[in-house]
Structure 1
Amino acid sequence: MAESNDYEAERLKNIKENERLMKELGVMGGSSAIGGPSPKRATPTKPKKAATPKKKADTTPTRIMPSRSSARLAGHEADSETLKRKYEQEAEEARKVAEAAKRARHQPFDLSGMTGGELEEEAILALESTLQGLATNAASAAELVDIKDEKKRRSGKKEDPERSTERKELEDILNKMTLKSAAKVTPKRVYSMAYHPSTDKDLVFVGDKEGSIGVWDAAPTASSSSKGSVVKKEDDEEEQDAEDAFPEGTAWTLQVHGRSPVTCIKFDPVNHNSVYSCSYDSTVRKLDLATGKSDEIWAGEEDVLLSIFDVLSPSTHPSAYIDTPNPSLDERSMWIADHRGGLLHIDLREKTRRGNNTRRWQVCEKKIGAMSVNRLAPHCIATASLDQHIRLFDVRALASVVKQTADAPYNYKGVDADDLEAAQTKAQFSSNKARQACTSVDFSPRGDQLVGVSYDDVVKVWSMDPSSLFSEHGLKSRAAVTKTHGTAKAGGRKSGVKKKEPDSSTTTSLFSWLTKAKPLKTEEDVALAIKQEQEAPPPSASQRPDDVLADPTRIPHNNQTGKWLTMFRARWNQNPLLEPHFTIGSMTRRAEVYSADGTLLRSLWDENLVTAVPAVTCMHPVLPARLVTGNASGRCTFWSPDG
């Protein structure tokens, strides 16, 4: 018993000694801090997550792949030569299929062929009824206004300073724009877009990355909720309120080109039932809306990609008849730019021609990404190229001072230096260099302003006089054409029609533009127009500024679209009666509207329905404040004024 008491006393003594040592070492609490249960910490309550709205069912078609098979069960050894050859053959077959899909489709197609037989007969009939009769509803800007009344209204505004200006009127209607509909129109990324001139229907044609052209009836209607591109709800989403669904309009997809990007879409300036489109499959095709048929207009070399084109016609300007490399009664004249720095000219009266028979001139060292023809001076073409330049060419000099070439060089190293120097010193009369590649250029409908976009995060706007857009060699070529073709085509020196003297005060005014832009319907009108153009005194080089592209208005703008977005292109509103303004996409997921002086007039954005960059923009060519945008997923939005 005494031994147990001694042991207990020794144990307690050791405990006290340990506690003393631990306190000296700074371990507070003694032995209670060792081995004892740790105090409970107050755990903060997690905030409740906000209820996430139900997502729409993903209706994107999924590719059904063959089931995978085991190489071991098939008797193949790992890393065997037999297995390697099998994989190489499969990869080669897949590559050939992909290349075959990208090749041009030269044959004609009807609506059923362009839809791949996937649309029901009811949907095809709805598309046909939408396309037919559009030309009768189209109108030009000159037809929508009485020029005399418009002149009185504008002169009255100047006399009364209290009345709103053109800018104020434009801002008022732009501020009324709201998002009307949004829908996925094309399967892939949007590359190009064109708005039909019809005034009673909002019909938009959208080109995508894989050769498809989407036809979108954008205006929301009562019938659009039951057919077209409206997505049907799944069983678990039928309980969702009807008011949560946003209008989508009606959309159809037509496989017009091979599976290559549709880089440009334009309507025929005279017959709005014809839609021209070009693609990286090196073809230009025409879609006839009245018959629903697509035909090939022109085909170039398979490895020369087409970037953009523009169409001239009698409604453009009378001088379009004589200021082309093929002067005559030129009912349709098309200019095309390719990715190897070439300009091509096509007379659409000619039969379908292939690449080696086309008039082509090497004007740039690298790819021409954008091009625009001046409506008031159709001999002037602006180009934006990968060599960091925006250039102005007088195409009248191309046929006389620049050698015509049929074959495009493989790359910039194969460009003939002498030909390029002749083009850029004789046919070119002005240029502007940026710090990085130039991606867009566009002339205003009045022909007196030019907007360009470059990758160095700037948008430039130039103001110019259309009468100063020429080169000395172009004037010499014009005089030669007048001497050779002028009197014969104009019907001789004697004419029963009295020549109308131009008003020097309004030579480049809006109303002069409207007068000159009237279509010439008869051969007599054509002969008179040619005679007046040829008898007009030539412009003087001494009165032209030293550099037409000097001192632009610079607008800071983030243009770093990167690899997965279509590059931004600034596009003027094509109605010359409105205050000049252009649209462009923005990396902030907005569609922006700018005036010619760089003022941001309107920024369009919706936080719920616009969740990607609207890289491609397009406005109605006649009606104001009607805008369509497209993004990298093929989704488009339609904005218009209320009411």
Structure 2
Amino acid sequence: MEMLKMLKIDAMKEEAKPTVTESKTNTTRFYRKAVKPAKPLTPSRRSLRISGRDPQGIELPPRPPTPEERPLKLGTETVQSANTGLSEPGEISESLADIAGRVTEQGRSGDGPCGSYAAALTDLALDTLAKVTPLRIASMAFSPLRQKHVLAAGDKRGVLGLWDVSRGGLGVHNLSAHTGLIAGVSFSPADGARCFTSSYDGLCRALDLERQQFDQVYAPPDSQPDLFLNHHTHRDENILLLGRSDGRLVQRDLRTPDSTSLRLSDRGGLRYLNVHPSREHCLAVVERPNTVSLWDLRRVKGPRSALQRVTLPRTCASAIISRHSGDRLVVPCADDFIRIYDGVNRGALDASQTIRHNNQTGRWLTTFKPTWLPDSDELFVVGSMLQPRRVEVYDISGHVHHLLMGADLLTVCSTVAFHPSERAIAAANSSGKVHLFR
């Protein structure tokens, strides 16, 4: 330190400092914002749909009531009171009278398919199409009439559409049959004089074509009003089988007002029913959510008395027995596979083939339900998500045997139905349109 003082280091530091210090100035600059010109005031836009008008500004008709707002259709109802208003009352009466007259003339349909479906696939072409129901079609069936194609389709709001194909779009009549989704549609196996419908509203009704009225076939007990029907099928011409949401199978004898029920499942409702074509006691059932079971209706003693149960990885929508020999079962699954089982006649299901197929229809489309050709155990038909739109015919080895396509087939057709006595295939989409191949 003494040495530093002698060298006068501190004095030198002071001399090195600047004598004048620069003051800091505020360099912040302020800019005046440009004033945007005011926009002319225009009236705010309003949705025509919300205001109850169509794109041309014309006032729309009143909104139809939702299923929760509509009263349950109990008892008997005439066709005229069930008319949705899209057809004239006289047209409906005339059309149903014509169909009923044909039923009386032909009697039983009984001879089976006219010719071979498998041999005629290459000759089938998209013949006509029509909008049969207002909304998404969930079920569909052909009348067994020969020489006159009559189709019935049920949509998600309970509307039953009847289509006389020979009259084109003019032959469509809509009837408000239920207040919920129509899960099953079928014609009576005896003569086709009645059209049966089962619905999520819990009712099963029959449209009598001769008397032109809906008859109540089944209604849930008063103590369980929340029960609904998932599907129905015919055991024979007199006994109707109904699948309930509580896991019970209802057997309704059409000759008496009584019905009996059998508990088949403790896990969930019965989603789909299919009876063997020649053994009326053999029944295939889809139990919610992902179980397929095989039953002998002569020996049902509870949920554990099934001949066999098969559990799938994800949910399945149907299980359909082949209509020729009845030995095969086709089951679609939400894991994007279609499974084929053998051994139905033996009462044991053996997995024989797994076919990869896109089954992701989503919430807005009806799920795929593969259907066997009426005269074949080798070929089945299913809708497709692929472009261009098509209906696919597969063989049991998993190969595409044939494609049903057409210039007017522009949407996914989920529901397929075969005419029981003539070569005609109907494919329905989720906007209510039906495409007819013949």
- Measured against the shorter chain, the TM-score band is 0.7 to 0.9
Relative to structure 1, the CA distance from residue 134 to residue 599 in structure 2 (aligned partners, 3 Å threshold; closer, same or farther) is: farther
Q: What is the distance in 2 between the residues matched to 1:596 and 1:277?
A: 31
Relative to structure 1, the CA distance from residue 121 to residue 371 in structure 2 (aligned partners, 3 Å threshold; closer, same or farther) is: closer
1:386 offset after TM fit, Å?
2.8
1:252 aligns with 2:193: no
2:383 to 573, 585, 603: 585
Is the contact between residue 170 and residue 579 of structure 1 (CA under 8 Å) also seen in structure 2?
no
Relative to structure 1, the CA distance from residue 598 to residue 584 in structure 2 (aligned partners, 3 Å threshold; closer, same or farther) is: same
Q: How does 1:282-321 map to 2 (within 5 A)?
A: 282-300=202-220, 301-313=224-236
Q: Deviations over 1:243-294 (max 9, x none)?
A: xxxxxxx211111112x10000111111310111100010111111122111
Is the contact between residue 309 and residue 334 of structure 1 (CA under 8 Å) also seen in structure 2?
yes
1:171 offset after TM fit, Å?
4.8
Q: What is the distance in 2 between the residues matched to 1:279 and 1:193?
A: 13
1:99 aligns with 2:53: no
Q: What is the distance in 1 between the residues matched to 2:339 and 2:113?
A: 31
Secondary structure in 2 aligned to 1:194?
A: strand
Is the contact between residue 281 and residue 302 of structure 1 (CA under 8 Å) also seen in structure 2?
no
1:379 offset after TM fit, Å?
2.1
Relative to structure 1, the CA distance from residue 140 to residue 464 in structure 2 (aligned partners, 3 Å threshold; closer, same or farther) is: farther
1:64 offset after TM fit, Å?
4.5
2:161 to 214, 218, 228: 214
Is the contact between residue 84 and residue 174 of structure 2 (CA under 8 Å) also seen in structure 1?
no
Is the contact between residue 311 and residue 334 of structure 1 (CA under 8 Å) also seen in structure 2?
yes
Q: 1:262 aligns to what?
A: 182
Stretches of structure 1 that go unaligned for 5 or more consecutive residues are 1-56, 67-93, 146-165, 231-249, 315-331, 403-422, 470-547
1:335 aligns with 2:241: yes
Relative to structure 1, the CA distance from residue 395 to residue 132 in structure 2 (aligned partners, 3 Å threshold; closer, same or farther) is: closer
Q: What is the distance in 2 between the residues matched to 1:113 and 1:394?
A: 41
Instruction: Select between 381-390 and 281-290 the one with higher mean Cα deviation.
Output: 381-390
Q: How does 1:231-630 map to 2 (within 5 A)?
A: 250-258=171-179, 260-300=180-220, 301-313=224-236, 332-351=238-257, 358-398=260-300, 401-402=301-302, 423-424=303-304, 427-445=305-323, 446-464=325-343, 466=345, 468-469=346-347, 548-574=348-374, 576=375, 578=376, 580-588=378-386, 589-606=389-406, 608-624=407-423, 626-630=424-428
Q: 2:38 aligns to what?
A: none
State the AA in 2 paired with 1:100.
Answer: E
Q: What is the distance in 1 between the residues matched to 2:187 and 2:335?
A: 32
Q: How does 1:170-209 map to 2 (within 5 A)?
A: 170-209=117-156
Q: How does 1:76-91 map to 2 (within 5 A)?
A: none
Q: 1:120 aligns to what?
A: 88
Is the contact between residue 382 and residue 416 of structure 2 (CA under 8 Å) also seen in structure 1?
yes
Secondary structure in 1 aligned to 2:360?
A: coil
Is the contact between residue 343 and residue 363 of structure 1 (CA under 8 Å) also seen in structure 2?
no
Q: What is the distance in 2 between the residues matched to 1:586 and 1:566?
A: 12
> How many residue pairs were aligned?
377
Q: What is the distance in 2 between the residues matched to 1:344 and 1:124?
A: 32
Q: What is the distance in 1 between the residues matched to 2:111 and 2:61?
A: 54
Give the structure with the larger strand fraction: 2
State the AA in 2 paired with 1:282.
Answer: G
Q: Deviations over 1:100-151 (max 9, x none)?
A: 31x4201312221121455324422442343222323365453778xxxxxx
Is the contact between residue 97 and residue 209 of structure 2 (CA under 8 Å) also seen in structure 1?
no
Aligned-residue CA RMSD (Å):
2.8
1:636 to 410, 427, 434: 434
Relative to structure 1, the CA distance from residue 266 to residue 587 in structure 2 (aligned partners, 3 Å threshold; closer, same or farther) is: same
Relative to structure 1, the CA distance from residue 568 to residue 267 in structure 2 (aligned partners, 3 Å threshold; closer, same or farther) is: same
Q: What is the distance in 1 between the residues matched to 2:286 and 2:398?
A: 20
Secondary structure in 2 aligned to 1:396?
A: helix
Q: What is the distance in 1 between the residues matched to 2:59 and 2:133?
A: 16
State the AA in 2 paired with 1:217.
Answer: D
1:109 to 60, 77, 96: 77
Q: Deviations over 1:63-92 (max 9, x none)?
A: 4479xxxxxxxxxxxxxxxxxxxxxxxxxx
Is the contact between residue 364 and residue 385 of structure 1 (CA under 8 Å) also seen in structure 2?
no
Q: What's the TM-score once normalised by structure 2's chain length?
A: 0.78
Is the contact between residue 171 and residue 601 of structure 1 (CA under 8 Å) also seen in structure 2?
no
Is the contact between residue 194 and residue 206 of structure 1 (CA under 8 Å) also seen in structure 2?
yes
Q: What's the TM-score once normalised by structure 1's chain length?
A: 0.55
Q: 1:474 aligns to what?
A: none
Q: Deviations over 1:48-76 (max 9, x none)?
A: xxxxxxxxx999x974479xxxxxxxxxx
1:566 offset after TM fit, Å?
0.9
Q: What is the distance in 1 between the residues matched to 2:320 and 2:213?
A: 30
State the AA in 1 paired with 2:68.
Answer: E
